Amino acid sequence: MKSILSFSILFTIVFSLKTEYIKYEEEDKIAIITINRPKELNALNIQVLEELNKTLDTIDTDKIRALIITGDGEKAFVAGGDIEEVYLFTQKEAEEFSKKGNNFFRKIETFPIPTIAAVNGYALGIGCELTLSCDIRICSDNAVFSQPETGLGIIPGLGGTQRLSRLIGMGKSKQMIFTGKNFRSDEAFRFGLVNAIYPQEELLAEAKKLARTIAKNSPIAVKNSKKAINEGMQVDIDSAIKIEEKNFGECFETSEQVERMNNFLNKSKKKNLKES
């Protein structure tokens, strides 16, 4: 079922997905996923992961150009995993949980459209790992990041030991993981973990502004850019250049490329005529 709400000139579509902990909205060409478990500081358990996965499957990436992921409330983005659910896991169960979570986070990482983590408060453990699977991270000035798993006798299990090093470097990554220390927004920015910091009340609006800026560009070009960057990071430079060449070529002979380049050339001609 779809309900349509109009806020001044803003057109918002809210989909009922029969999810208990996930809210999903569309505003024109951008989508917003909100993890809605504020009493538990939006902690992720198996049900939340399944609902997130289900929600991703509903997104029409031909229509939607960018996705924002955030948490409900002002205290937390995702304050880790649900310890009560996992603390009695056997080794096999823990590995299966890690595999299931990693499959989903990899799905976010390779999602065709750009993903933006709008981090409103605590992003601890699995919450921090969720941000790492997104393309861009922005945060509120009260945000806190950490990988505190070593203090619980475990290690990050949903990509933290791998993506964090690729993002901020091995030394800083080891510092975060070995110490389990909390890093506030300014430290996270200095480490290169986040792209920008905003006041809490401005965060979502800024995330939407960023998403709309992305949405204005050619969807084929943006998708191919993401694919080239992600795949190129996994191989040597010579192989990466070949990936870029292929994705560059695929942008041509598309209606988007022809129309946008024609528009550019026409504007240039008009400008030259005015100046002559």
Q: Tell me the per-residue pLDDT of 190-247, one tens digit each, with 9 for 90 and over.
A: 999 999 999 999 999 999 999 999 999 999 999 999 999 999 999 999 999 999 999 9
Closest-CA residue to 192 (of 222, 224, 225, 170): 170
Q: Domain spanning 219-275 has what CATH number?
A: 1.10.12.10
Answer yes or no: pTM beyond 0.95.
Answer: no
Query: How is the beta sheet containing 76-79 ordered, strand by strand?
Result: 76-79, 122-124, 144-146, 183-184
Burial of 90-100, coded b for 16+ CB within 10 Å and e otherwise, reads: eeeeeeebbee
- Mean pLDDT score across all residues of the chain: 91
pLDDT for residue 267: 85
Is 60 exceeded by the pLDDT of residue 11?
no
Q: Please give the DSSP secondary-structure letter assigned to residue 38.
A: G
pLDDT for residue 273: 67
Residue ranges matching CATH 3.90.226.10 in the chain: 2-215
Residue ranges matching CATH 1.10.12.10 in the chain: 219-275
pLDDT for residue 82: 87
Active-site choice (25, 95, 149, 259): 149
Catalytic residue check, 74: no
Q: Which residues face 81 on adjacent strands?
A: 44
Active-site choice (85, 129, 250, 275): 129
Catalytic residue check, 201: no
- CA atoms within 13 Å, Cβ hemisphere of 59: 29
* Cα–Cα distance, 128 to 263 (Å, whole number): 42
With vertex at residue 85, the alpha carbon angle to CA 82 and CA 89, rounded to the nearest 5 degrees, is: 125
* CATH superfamily of this structure's domain 2-215: 2-enoyl-CoA Hydratase; Chain A, domain 1 (3.90.226.10)
pLDDT for residue 13: 43
